[in-house]
Amino acid sequence: MLDINRPMVFHCAVQTLSFCETARHLHLSRPTVSKQIQDLEQELGVQLFDRSAAKPRLTDAAQALLPLARRLVRLASDKDKIAEAMQAKVAGQIRLAPTTAAGKYILPQLGALFHQ
């Protein structure tokens, strides 16, 4: 069974291309990040990073896995937002694309009401 932490660590490592930076960002130790990546590689039976250079580089297998890892990270984030909302906390994002007139005259009033 896939451990959700491994794709999350992988996703962060892809973004930073540095296991040290990934460790800092996720508040983990550098060896923990390496172990999570190695465990994921073993589980999948592929190498995800070419570690021969100064900075790790993505392999073709990593490129193929990346969209799934992004979805898993997004789903984990959605789960947290839903849990907060169920505890009577308002959570989430609002994306608006108003017309010029609505954006100038109506949206500021609605935004203030929503904020309250």
* Domains detected in the chain: 5-91 (1.10.10.10)
Q: How far is CA 110 from CA 33, 37, 89, 90, in A?
A: 44, 46, 20, 17
Task: Pull the structure tokens for residue 22.
Answer: 């990934």
- 92 has a pLDDT exceeding 70: no
pLDDT band at 115 (very low <50, low <70, confident <90, very high): confident
Three-state DSSP class for 48?
Answer: coil
Taking only the tens place, the pLDDT of each residue in 42-72 is 999 999 999 887 788 899 999 999 999 999 8
| The overall pTM is greater than 0.75 | no
